[in-house]
Structure 1
Amino acid sequence: MNGIVVLLARHCALAGGAILLALVAVTCVSVLARAGLTLSTLADMPAWFSRLRPIRGDYELIELGSAVAICGFLPWCHLAAAHARVDLLGGRFARGLDRFWDAAIAACMAFLAWRMWEGMLTKRANAETTFLLQIPVWWAFAACATGLAAAALTGAWVAARGRAA
């Protein structure tokens, strides 16, 4: 089971990273294009630079993609114990407290996954889309719910097995 949880968390993080890299590319192209439109009137720019145009709906892509990427990073973050924390205690009590908080995070992630799933069903039923690109919003909700469910599973697994000392 440990291998499955690690594989799931790793794949979620890799998907989140791929999405984040795509968002960086979208942002860079849009910023360069906006700068090219401004600078082409002020200075001699290469011809290709002045032909760049901002990506239509880049804000929508960033908004949806950021949420999906963040939810994709959560399982690996919890598995690697990379959440912000303060260690004041040591020994057995601290390990018990860690298990409690791991279980609490698992419960919170399960709750969020459930609510995100319910939100996805509502968005899909209402056929809600983004303003400019008309992307169905429920796709992002479904992806976020998947990442949150994986985070809940990871949290439950870490709580059940405990952290390495």
Structure 2
Amino acid sequence: MAILGGLVLTVLVLLTVVSVTGRALNGVMHLGWVESLAGPLAQGLLDAGLGPITGDFELVEAGIAFTIFAFLPLAQISGSHATVDIFTSFLPISANRVLMALWEVLFAAALIVIAWRLYEGMQGKMRYNETTFLLQFPVWWAFAASFAAAVMAALVSSFTAAARVWEMLTGASVLPEFGEVDH
């Protein structure tokens, strides 16, 4: 999921760069002094479609929603979510295990609710044939992609919640306590 999310994010970044560059060049080609100097070349570039990518905001909006959910399973399974442990670092390991289990269970519940609501939203978008304004692609496509990624995140989060509860009850270490990043 993270690799797929990374690929989508890379495409979105490239799309944004091309669109912003095209928008800037389009503005430059409309400057009076550029039109007088470059004349037919400036007009030829504008006629060829030099400008922003139509629907770039719609594509970025749909893609980023998917990307966020695509990265969650890896962050969850590796324990790489950002944490602030100013107060909990002084607590005994058993108290920290209770807190970690509590947060994992709450996070799993939240992801399950989010996946459910994405499914319901997708059903509504399909029912009413809602499309984006500029590109006119069905909005439910973005909901479906985000729903699939959210289901995967909810499954991984449910596993990590069960593992943290097991750790709390048995004292065993199943999952990493923290991700790979040193703070």
Tell me which interval the TM-score lies in, with the shorter structure as reference length: 0.7 to 0.9
Shift of 1:49: 7.3
Q: Is 1:164 aligned with 2:153?
A: no
Q: Paired residue for 1:63?
A: 61
SS in 2 for 1:65: helix
Higher relative contact order (CA 8 A, sep 6+): 1
Moved over 6 A (4+): 44-50
**Counterparts in 2 of 1:30 and 1:164: CA distance versus 1, 3 Å:** closer
Identity of aligned residues (%): 42
From 75, 100, 112, give the equivalent of 1:98: 100
In 2, are the aligned partners of 1:36 and 1:49 still within 8 Å (CA)? Answer: no
C-alpha distance in structure 1 between counterparts of 2:108 and 2:144, whole Å: 19
User: Partner amino acid for 2:111?
Assistant: M
Query: Normalised by the size of structure 2, how large is the TM-score?
Result: 0.76
Shift of 1:53: 2.6
Q: Paired residue for 2:4?
A: 15
Matches within 5 A, 1:8-157: 12-40=1-29, 41=31, 52-87=50-85, 88=88, 89-157=91-159
SS in 2 for 1:32: helix
Query: Normalised by the size of structure 1, how large is the TM-score?
Result: 0.83
Q: Which runs of 5+ in 1 are unaligned?
A: 1-11
The structure with more radius of gyration:
2
Aligned residues: 154
